[in-house]
Structure 1
Amino acid sequence: MVEDQPQTGYSSITSGRRDIEGEPMFSSEFTAPKGFLESILFQFNRLKYVLIYTLILVYGISLLFAIINKLTIPSETAKHKKILTFNESVNPANGLKKVSFDVVRSGDLKPNYKPLQWLSVVDGPSEDKGLYSTMDDNKYLIKSVLDTEYEQLLFDGKNFTFEGSEFKIDDFKSSPDLKFALLRTNSKRLWRHSYHADYYILNVSTQKIDLLVKNLTMVAFSPDSQKIAYVLNNDLYVFDIFKNSTQRVTESGSENVFNGKADWVYEEEILESDQAVWWSPSSDHITFLKIDETKVDEFSINYYVQQDAGKQIPSYPDLKTIKYPKSGTPNPIVDIKVFSLKSKDTVTYKLDEPTQLINEIVYLGDKKFIAKVTDRTATYLKVFVMDVDGSEKTLQRLQFDEEEWIELTHYTTHVPALKTNEGADGYIDVIPIDGFNHLVYYPNLSSDNHIQLTSGDWEVVNGVTSFDKQKRIVWFISTKKSSIERHLYYVSLDEPLKIHEVTDVSSDGYYAASFSSGSRFALLNYMGPNIPYQKVLDFKNQDEAKTLYYLEENKKLKENLPLYDIPEKKFKKINIGPDANGADIVLNSFEILPNNFNPKLKNHYPVFFFGYNGPNSQQVNKIFSIGLNQVIASQLNAIFVCVDTRGTGFLGKKHRSLVRDNLGQHESDDFIKVAKHYSAKSYVDSEKTLIYGWSYGGFMSLFTLQKDQGETFKYAISVAPVTNWLLYDSVYTERYMSLPEKNSAGYKNSSINNVENIFKAQRVLLMHGLGDDNVHFQNAANLIDQAVVKKVKNFDVKVFPDSDHSISYHGAYDIVMDQLISWAGQAFNGDFEGRWEY
């Protein structure tokens, strides 16, 4: 059934009908003749036409009733078929608007978070005025949370003019002293975090703009704001702003050698950034990575439709190749290099083994830095202390975990030496203690002895949020109250394990925070479960944080919410029974029941299951959001269920580590048990169960179907899935699956290799971008070929030219979402039942 439309009347059965009131019904009209014979003939003809019109009318009415009967009464082959309400705009029960994709895309129900970028321009809290950069009415501004009247204009406008040509500002980056800014334009995305782009330098005081260099792939201001490091053609350069001179640091850059710039796998999986450079605090040295991909195998991607605006599509596709190390194949070889801007010398630190990975580099003072190094399967972490002049490389600590893995993180925070303790620089990090990730303090660099700062059956999230160097206070976000909430706390280095609550833990909350350079001020983001807000806090007295003002209250969202009938999200813990050791498996989940839910109905509601479920991930949390989840419940009259299976994060090592070397096995078991739990409910139609996921979630939907064989899940939607872990990148895969030669059985058992089992379900939809540089279309092609070999018919495929892993090229993401709900609607409506048998 579609949305009600204005009634326009039925189409007339005869072509002679006119719709204008007062006009004759039929076009043929007769005048009575004068004679008897003529009268008889007239009556006969009249009777003939009446009979004809009567027969036509009876036939038409019968046909109409047959059509109506066909639409409203299920046939024997589809007696369980239900006509669901699609794209219904208003709930007839209460007159409120229902959530749809049109509503979601309008932004009426989306919370707003205003950007506030703190500026690192001071050394101590006495000077901390809480300076931050923001954009307001197309103006790039510096403001102060302490002095609300303070405002410094950096630049006015979204565009700039240089030598008579106008350019759009794609990104605006201020120097630490606020005297200069880098304007990025003509950006062409390279990978997830990187671009090819042209960069211009803005002199804030004069507003003069000069070209830095075109077609760069990385730029970074020095801490003293006088220099800019950049990468051109994979070589590193340093530009001196005041001297207007450029120093070339490397000359080895090539298609295979990257200097100061991350290659694909380092950008995607390790550094999570386009930068592989780190300035010393004094700006006298710059540490960078030299990444040699010579032995890394290439992967080629055809781009079929991308072209310059206004130009004709080329006759041949654009073939691009990237160095992409797949599981078990050679990784790039990486060296650590340090360049001295004074002596112009470069020193090199080589790794103990060429297969090792460099996870993080952090300066601890001006002369030393630490480098975190793991083996390629992430079973150990080595922390080395290195000197900028190449004279020292010592192993400070070794962290080993054969049962789980070393998660690649960037949590190290420098703790400067106290004045009373000469030379004792230290750092704060996160390590697993009794199975949970906690803060520890290493007071010096010559020992692995540490001071534990937090403890308990909960985890610190994303390391140190801020560190007050003067007060020696560590601010952090954790799951101390609940694994699906986030609250702000602090602990003092001088009083370890004494945890202080900052946010209100008596109420449910999911918070994030960012601090000013001196740690006196913070932007606190309340993200759910209720309407989000942002407020600025003053921690001059950390025990009594003062609210200065609200940066965002989401008043528009508050006004709009009462106009909508938004189905409620209910959080639950589901006990799915004992594990192999007899301990209960309890999973975090949430469900969204459809509008006007009636538990007394029998075999009525479809269930739409969603999961990502990658190692150490989390989907079940108390963040406010209204999107796909609510659209499914509102428009498909379905129950939406999200569950975090074993292997996901923030519940400790025991919960997540058992998936190592066996991706998919425990997660799919959990999904099937959860689905059986719902299918047993009297109001659920157990023939209308669907599982959906994207990326790792796409793998999970297929793998679960492969194991379930159509018994519990009847439909699946898989977007951009991994189908064989030998086809995915080495760094991610080997962290969780080890090397293929050491775990061949695990790789085989964790792949999609039995389509006969998968397609015992009613129907499957696969969607993938042809330009996906992350999860290559090769994964989808592998599955499609298996389906072709087995002559599978209950299979739908939709591909998107030139779209990457986000499937967004030319607005494709909206098409994916529309297709998702349309296809799920057909599945729940019974449109696919039995079709594949013919």
Structure 2
Amino acid sequence: MARSARSDSTASDASLEDDLYEKKAAGEGGYHDEAEGGDDDSLDEEERVGLMKQHHPNTTRRATSPSPAPFQPRHSRKRLLLYLVALVLCLILVVPLLAWLSSSHPTHNPWAHVDVLIPGFSAPPSPSISAAKKLPPSSNDAKGQYGLANAPSFSVSEYIPGWATPEEADEQLSLSKGTTRQTLARQGWRSLKPVGLDTIFNGTLDYADRRLDWSYEDPDEGVFMTVDPVEGDIVFEDVTHARQNQTGEGKVAKGGGKVTYVKARDVVDEHGEPVMWEEFHPSPDLAMVFFTTEQRDVWRYSKRFRLWVHDVRKKKTIPLGEATQLPTISNAQWVGNTSLAFVQNNDLYIALDINVASSPPAAPIRITKDGTITTFNGGADWVYEEEILETDHALWVSPGGTKLAYLRFDESDVPIYEFPIYAGGNDTVHPGQVTPYPKKTQMKYPKPGYPNPRVSAHLVDLERLRKDPRDVEGAKLDLVSPTSVTDVGVAGGEPNRVDLALGSIDGQKESLVIDVAWLSDGSLSLVETNRYSDKSRRLVFDLTRSGTKSKQKVKDIVVGKAVRHTDVGSRSWITPRHDLIALGVASWRVYAPSSTGTTAYLEVLHNEAGYAHIAFFPSSTAVKPSRWLTTGEWEVDQLLFADVKRSKVYYSAPLPGQIWKRHIFSVDLDSHGDKAPVDITASWPTSSFEASFDPKGAYVSLRCTGPSIPFTRVVGLDDPSFTWHVQDNEKARNASAQHVKAHTLFYNVTLTTSNHVTATAQELRPHDFDASGSVRYPLLIHVYGGPDSQIVAGKTLRTHWHEVLATQMGYVVVRVDGRGTGFRGQAYREGIARNLGSVEVEDVLATVRELRRLPYVDEKRIGLWGWSYGGYLTAKTIEANSGKDQLLSLGMSVAPPAKWELYDSVYTERFMKSPLGQDDRASVPPEASNTDGYAKSAVHVPPTSGFFRTPYLLAHGTGDDNVHFGNSAQLLDLLESAHIKPATLWTFRAFVDSPHGMSVRGQYRALHEWMTGWLAERWGAGGKRRFSEGGEVVGKGEVVGKVGKKKGTKLLEEHGKRDGAEEEEEEGQWWLDRRQHERHRSRARRNRAEGLTW
């Protein structure tokens, strides 16, 4: 080699300078090569030559010096003895030194022996993470609490085993012995298949998700609607017939059977062409059905479509609405048996008494005429759809079909936010179609301190409209909140703080309507809150009497009566709920066979102890509940169904002590909280469920959501012996059996360094997990942590990315819920009020302190990742991950908020109140001003923050309408201004035109591939894994691959094996084989030379 032949000092200096530049470039790639002990064998050949010249300046001169004298045999014994003595002395000195170096953290600086450093370059810093005082190990079985018996802060709740062999898969999935091994053998496999990114993204492990669409309209019990998969016909069938047809078991109920409701060939347009419909909705009397076609998504819930009405008996189909180039209709809903309400171009229309045979059909009546791009009638604007209603529907038909209530939203004062669409925000656009002048999406997006949309409530009297369809204004009423002292209060018109806040001019201008519900055909109730969601009142509108003529308006007004007030104070918040059940209103959620005229209702509220339970109100004007149906230190999740005939109420709730698990319970309607609820899902103690009820109250469809393979059962409520296996997911079960499966452990953690609060956790372990401490695993913690949220849940996800990390990469993955999250009472959640990013961070770090002491956790490789609020919590935790007590070695944030002034006002001000001070805006109440809280809650990058030491990955979609790209721009600006070099400590990737879920043009998979690769670069393989010569992650002692294709390649030996639990491995050790190690280094230099980042 030319460089090794140089002998002059100039050549040596030049060689050294070249090597320094190469070494520095390699360091800036974020690799830990030089941190692995500085051994010359880890360097490329050219680098070894240069360093040899630096260490041994006389090497060349020795090569040209005379040869030594010939060896003298008579001195051989003496020299041999001297060599042996010297060798023994060296061993005595060197062995203890090596032991000390291997048990302590490497402090070696690869440039310590260099006299001159190139200005502007420095070695990449690596996290200085102290050793953890490990807890004693215990056995990985029930007796050893699955490795946690000697961890006093941990309380194991449930263990769900995975499988590493075909035999274990058969046992856990209740398959016949030998089934899985035989299946694998037929495919040419000798062992279980690995779970890789291809496995989870190509649908191999997908499961079917059949949900029954119950028919409220059919008078019989247990009837559901379905679409024939071959013919496309709409079919009605009852569950007894469906079970017999599927299994041949049982009898068909009287009146039961299967009937074709609408034949697909009958649904044609005026030219005889088939109408390719996407959704169907029968009328209450089943005489007609409306169809939607050409649906296109707008925001999270909203859609636009074309609308068709089909007469079942006459077999005729007609379009409704104005003909437009693109679909513009939304929110269609039956009003009685023959009329249909819908929204087109943000105006409300009603098609009265539809007659498809008339020619031409009568045009729908336009109820409103002020719909624009900033004014919405009957349809929600963006912030109400996203944060309050959780739907774009903002119209409600009375039980008798005589009235229609709707909300109007005026966004005129809301500032516009716009973002570019470079190629197209959907999958129909081919990659690489960026235009010279990108289009821009404009949206009215209210942010903290800026104007919100103004909301008002209105009503259409359909009986009056039928009498005179031309007098539209005369049929409309304005539903007005009370303002004067005589209009408010519950005793002598005496106002309280809530009335004063909501009844003022400013209060009415900025109030929010968070729920609307009919209590009877003449009684409408709605809940309004102040802007900051800490004061609310329930208003009731009596519509049995005529409204009062307004002096300013032609149409009538009805003033609501405030019957209930809530003031939680500025240290808490009121969350919108939409599960109120009116007991006198028959619907798909209430079985009330005869009209009782009652306005009694059920509602989930927080009791005096701060837990959410079911309250019974005897009338619409009741101030307080007359009784609580449930009680205790646990919370109701959702009120599902009320059966007035059988006097039963059904709800979902977390199991006490196992809040990640949802079961379905029933309680007597006349209960006073003194009777224990009945768990109707008790037969499946390890599963979580969702439920939908037969509107006649005879059956319930139970959908298992995990953590095992989901399934669906229909169970009889009158006859518990009735069971129909709707969906067993046998195909998914067999596919899962052929792949390795991670173990799942649920536990509670007492955070000794965070006020001894208890966090819940879900731990995913490799299928070949070793709890003894002889193997230590990288630990990735997944967080969300948003107010009222829950990420620790017994659900099976369609995208099993954590399974890939656990089974293929050899990582342990833990999900954590700490303070601020839901279902543990108000006291547990309220610590984050006015201080987002505070106690959540404390609890995450406290959890890390507990986890790092576990004998099987590698405390040098603990990281954090999250999406949305979880990405924010990750960034805030890294910010706090500083000083001597540094705990994290990396973090990853996807689409995170970075500054709460940049997020939407309704969500942010619910928890943070106002960013404005008293000098900024006179209407901000003193108790709502929180300028300091906003400042503290933003992500910061001070010199003491962990961003200077903790590698960080950041990703965001440029088309994110929810958490705007400006949040990541804010964070990038801070990182760059702090002179934290990219690629060394942080990396960023923008996903073109992707919304919040990274759902455009395959970018969801691309994101996970990128994160997986970045983890591999930073941490390498974990547990019993090493990177093979080809770069795959492999484990020990198994044979992988198909017979005759991969030749049964032996997996590399176990990674991370230790002699003792307290022995520490060198920081930055990746355990790559030599060729793979050098390939990474040369590729990194090549990419950096081309201006690429990792």
* Normalised TM-score (structure 2): 0.65
Please say if residues 535 and 547 of structure 1, whose CA atoms lie closer than 8 Å, have aligned partners that are also in contact.
no
Q: Tell me the residue number matched to 1:99.
A: 195
| Correspondence 1:151-190 to 2 at 5 A | 151-156=259-264, 163=271, 168-190=276-298
Kindly tell me: are residues 449 and 599 of structure 1, through their superposed partners in 2, closer, same or farther at Cα, counting changes over 3 Å?
A: closer
AA aligned opposite 1:411: D
CA distance in 2, matches of 1:735, 1:504: 37
CA distance in 1, matches of 2:717, 2:642: 12
* Residue 430 (structure 2) pairs with residue 255 (structure 1): no
CA distance in 1, matches of 2:742, 2:407: 50
Q: Tell me the residue number matched to 1:200.
A: 308
Aligned with residue 672 of structure 2, among 461, 480, 496 = 496
| Correspondence 1:793-808 to 2 at 5 A | 793=981, 794-808=985-999
Greater shift, 569-578 or 308-317, is seen at: 308-317
| Correspondence 1:558-597 to 2 at 5 A | 558-577=733-752, 579-580=754-755, 584-597=756-769
SS at match of 1:272: coil
Please say if residues 130 and 521 of structure 1, whose CA atoms lie closer than 8 Å, have aligned partners that are also in contact.
no
Kindly tell me: are residues 187 and 295 of structure 1, through their superposed partners in 2, closer, same or farther at Cα, counting changes over 3 Å?
A: same
AA aligned opposite 1:387: D
Q: Tell me the residue number matched to 2:659.
A: 483
AA aligned opposite 1:525: R
Kindly tell me: are residues 422 and 508 of structure 1, through their superposed partners in 2, closer, same or farther at Cα, counting changes over 3 Å?
A: closer
How far residue 500 of structure 1 moved from its aligned partner, in angstroms, is: 2.5
SS at match of 1:236: strand
Greater shift, 726-735 or 105-114, is seen at: 105-114
Please say if residues 765 and 795 of structure 1, whose CA atoms lie closer than 8 Å, have aligned partners that are also in contact.
yes
Aligned with residue 363 of structure 1, among 478, 498, 518 = 518
How far residue 680 of structure 1 moved from its aligned partner, in angstroms, is: 2.8
Q: Tell me the residue number matched to 2:973.
A: 785
How far residue 591 of structure 1 moved from its aligned partner, in angstroms, is: 1.1
How far residue 233 of structure 1 moved from its aligned partner, in angstroms, is: 1.5
What whole-Å deviation, never above 9, does each CA across 1:442-468 have from its counterpart, x for those lacking one? 011222131211000111112x21111
Q: Tell me the residue number matched to 1:668.
A: 841
AA aligned opposite 2:522: K
Q: Tell me the residue number matched to 1:341.
A: 462
Please say if residues 893 and 955 of structure 2, whose CA atoms lie closer than 8 Å, have aligned partners that are also in contact.
yes
CA distance in 1, matches of 2:393, 2:853: 52
Please say if residues 720 and 768 of structure 1, whose CA atoms lie closer than 8 Å, have aligned partners that are also in contact.
yes
CA distance in 1, matches of 2:714, 2:737: 28
Please say if residues 283 and 289 of structure 2, whose CA atoms lie closer than 8 Å, have aligned partners that are also in contact.
yes
Kindly tell me: are residues 825 and 419 of structure 1, through their superposed partners in 2, closer, same or farther at Cα, counting changes over 3 Å?
A: closer
| Correspondence 1:402-417 to 2 at 5 A | 402=569, 403-416=571-584
Structure 1 residues not aligned, in runs of 5+: 1-61, 82-89
How far residue 616 of structure 1 moved from its aligned partner, in angstroms, is: 0.8
Aligned with residue 467 of structure 1, among 642, 654, 662 = 642
AA aligned opposite 2:810: N
AA aligned opposite 2:371: G
What whole-Å deviation, never above 9, does each CA across 1:516-564 have from its counterpart, x for those lacking one? 1122211011223333221112222xxx523331101111122223222
What whole-Å deviation, never above 9, does each CA across 1:97-150 have from its counterpart, x for those lacking one? 122222122333333220311122157xxx434333455345443222244331
Kindly tell me: are residues 684 and 488 of structure 1, through their superposed partners in 2, closer, same or farther at Cα, counting changes over 3 Å?
A: closer
Please say if residues 175 and 221 of structure 1, whose CA atoms lie closer than 8 Å, have aligned partners that are also in contact.
no
Whichever structure has more strand as a proportion of its residues is 1
CA distance in 2, matches of 1:405, 1:673: 26
How far residue 737 of structure 1 moved from its aligned partner, in angstroms, is: 0.8
CA distance in 2, matches of 1:630, 1:252: 52
Please say if residues 158 and 169 of structure 1, whose CA atoms lie closer than 8 Å, have aligned partners that are also in contact.
no
Q: Identity over aligned residues, as a percent?
A: 27
Please say if residues 755 and 787 of structure 1, whose CA atoms lie closer than 8 Å, have aligned partners that are also in contact.
no
| Correspondence 1:285-304 to 2 at 5 A | 285-304=403-422
Kindly tell me: are residues 207 and 828 of structure 1, through their superposed partners in 2, closer, same or farther at Cα, counting changes over 3 Å?
A: farther
Q: Tell me the residue number matched to 1:555.
A: 730
Please say if residues 380 and 391 of structure 2, whose CA atoms lie closer than 8 Å, have aligned partners that are also in contact.
yes
* Residue 438 (structure 2) pairs with residue 330 (structure 1): no
Kindly tell me: are residues 326 and 595 of structure 1, through their superposed partners in 2, closer, same or farther at Cα, counting changes over 3 Å?
A: same
* Poorly superposed stretches of 4+, deviation over 6 Å: 62-67, 78-81, 90-94, 157-162, 164-167, 307-312, 417-422, 831-838
| Correspondence 1:388-403 to 2 at 5 A | 388=543, 389-390=546-547, 391-402=558-569, 403=571
Kindly tell me: are residues 305 and 136 of structure 1, through their superposed partners in 2, closer, same or farther at Cα, counting changes over 3 Å?
A: same
Kindly tell me: are residues 531 and 143 of structure 1, through their superposed partners in 2, closer, same or farther at Cα, counting changes over 3 Å?
A: same
Structure 2 residues not aligned, in runs of 5+: 1-40, 50-105, 111-123, 128-163, 168-189, 243-256, 356-360, 466-474, 482-502, 548-557, 586-591, 917-928, 1021-1067, 1071-1079
Kindly tell me: are residues 160 and 735 of structure 1, through their superposed partners in 2, closer, same or farther at Cα, counting changes over 3 Å?
A: farther
Identify the structure with bigger relative contact order (alpha carbons < 8 Å, sequence gap 6+).
2
Q: Tell me the residue number matched to 2:694.
A: 516
Q: Tell me the residue number matched to 2:603.
A: 429
How far residue 64 of structure 1 moved from its aligned partner, in angstroms, is: 14
CA distance in 1, matches of 2:394, 2:314: 32
AA aligned opposite 1:823: W
SS at match of 2:795: coil
Kindly tell me: are residues 604 and 382 of structure 1, through their superposed partners in 2, closer, same or farther at Cα, counting changes over 3 Å?
A: same
CA distance in 2, matches of 1:518, 1:556: 33
Greater shift, 140-149 or 739-748, is seen at: 140-149
Please say if residues 214 and 222 of structure 2, whose CA atoms lie closer than 8 Å, have aligned partners that are also in contact.
no
SS at match of 1:746: helix
How far residue 76 of structure 1 moved from its aligned partner, in angstroms, is: 8.4
Aligned with residue 1004 of structure 2, among 801, 813, 832 = 813
| Correspondence 1:63-212 to 2 at 5 A | 95-121=191-217, 127-134=220-227, 136-137=229-230, 138-148=232-242, 149-156=257-264, 163=271, 168-212=276-320
What whole-Å deviation, never above 9, does each CA across 1:704-756 have from its counterpart, x for those lacking one? 10111381112111101000011111111111111113111111111112264
Greater shift, 430-439 or 514-523, is seen at: 514-523
How far residue 782 of structure 1 moved from its aligned partner, in angstroms, is: 0.7
SS at match of 1:527: strand
Q: Tell me the residue number matched to 2:721.
A: 546
How far residue 372 of structure 1 moved from its aligned partner, in angstroms, is: 0.9
Please say if residues 129 and 147 of structure 1, whose CA atoms lie closer than 8 Å, have aligned partners that are also in contact.
no
Greater shift, 483-492 or 292-301, is seen at: 483-492
AA aligned opposite 1:595: H
* Residue 559 (structure 2) pairs with residue 372 (structure 1): no
* Residue 409 (structure 2) pairs with residue 236 (structure 1): no
CA distance in 2, matches of 1:788, 1:226: 63
Greater shift, 587-596 or 289-298, is seen at: 587-596
Q: Tell me the residue number matched to 2:1047.
A: none
Please say if residues 116 and 134 of structure 1, whose CA atoms lie closer than 8 Å, have aligned partners that are also in contact.
no
Please say if residues 754 and 846 of structure 2, whose CA atoms lie closer than 8 Å, have aligned partners that are also in contact.
no
Please say if residues 119 and 176 of structure 1, whose CA atoms lie closer than 8 Å, have aligned partners that are also in contact.
no
SS at match of 1:460: coil
Q: Tell me the residue number matched to 1:36.
A: none
CA distance in 2, matches of 1:143, 1:591: 43
What whole-Å deviation, never above 9, does each CA across 1:380-407 have from its counterpart, x for those lacking one? 2211111335445111211221242111
AA aligned opposite 2:521: D
Q: Tell me the residue number matched to 1:659.
A: 832
| Correspondence 1:9-88 to 2 at 5 A | none
How far residue 92 of structure 1 moved from its aligned partner, in angstroms, is: 13
RMSD: 3.5
AA aligned opposite 1:636: M
How far residue 195 of structure 1 moved from its aligned partner, in angstroms, is: 1.9
Kindly tell me: are residues 422 and 565 of structure 1, through their superposed partners in 2, closer, same or farther at Cα, counting changes over 3 Å?
A: closer
Q: Tell me the residue number matched to 1:607.
A: 779
Please say if residues 769 and 802 of structure 1, whose CA atoms lie closer than 8 Å, have aligned partners that are also in contact.
yes
* Normalised TM-score (structure 1): 0.84
What whole-Å deviation, never above 9, does each CA across 1:664-708 have from its counterpart, x for those lacking one? 111111111222223233443323222110000110110110111
CA distance in 2, matches of 1:828, 1:92: 30
Greater shift, 154-163 or 720-729, is seen at: 154-163
Kindly tell me: are residues 603 and 485 of structure 1, through their superposed partners in 2, closer, same or farther at Cα, counting changes over 3 Å?
A: closer
Please say if residues 331 and 392 of structure 2, whose CA atoms lie closer than 8 Å, have aligned partners that are also in contact.
no
Greater shift, 526-535 or 607-616, is seen at: 526-535
What whole-Å deviation, never above 9, does each CA across 1:574-598 have from its counterpart, x for those lacking one? 1111544xxx211110111223233
